[in-house]
């Protein structure tokens, strides 16, 4: 299926288009035989094994994008928490309502002390 960048975006290079596709940006379906022609879509709507064709460079060039390329172009999310794992766990022990998205599993006090002592 051929897709074009949505919302007026354009790309000079294939790598930029693949990166945005891999990281969930919207593209428009361009297939007159499809009932979804003209509708926005993103990688979240597609099976991971599908190959898609992305138009770029003022819609003049077409890039065949394989699952391997998508995986390579994905940018890992940046950690939100600035604390170390131990700091967040200690905070979770002393303040039960504290929740850290990057360090969600609190350690027991005994496990935390053993970890600090280097016994784990």
66 and 42 share one domain: yes
The Cα–Cα gap between 51 and 69 comes to 10
104 and 68 share one domain: no
Beta-sheet pairing, 52-56 with 61-65: antiparallel
Q: Is residue 78 part of a domain?
A: no
96 and 44 share one domain: no
11 and 63 share one domain: yes
DSSP annotation of 43 reads G
Strand partners, 52: 65
8 and 67 share one domain: yes
Beta strand spans in 1-120 (E): 2-5, 27-30, 40-41, 52-56, 61-65
Alpha carbon 61 to its chain centroid, in Å, reads 25
Find the domain containing 14 and state its range: 2-73
pLDDT 10s digits, 39-97: 999 998 988 889 999 999 999 999 999 999 998 888 776 655 666 666 766 666 676 55
pTM of the model: 0.63
């Amino acid at each position: 299926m051929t897709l074009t960048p949505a919302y007026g975006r354009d790309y000079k290079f294939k790598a930029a288009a693949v990166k945005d596709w891999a990281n969930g940006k919207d593209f428009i379906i361009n297939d007159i035989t499809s009932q979804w022609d003209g509708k926005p879509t993103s990688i979240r709507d597609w099976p991971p094994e599908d190959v898609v064709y992305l138009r770029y460079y003022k819609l003049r060039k077409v890039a065949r994008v394989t699952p391997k390329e998508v995986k390579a172009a994905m940018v890992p999310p940046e950690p939100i928490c600035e604390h170390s794992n131990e700091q967040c766990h200690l905070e979770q022990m002393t303040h039960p309502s504290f929740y850290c998205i990057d360090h969600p599993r609190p350690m027991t006090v005994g496990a935390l002390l053993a970890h600090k002592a280097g016994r784990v």
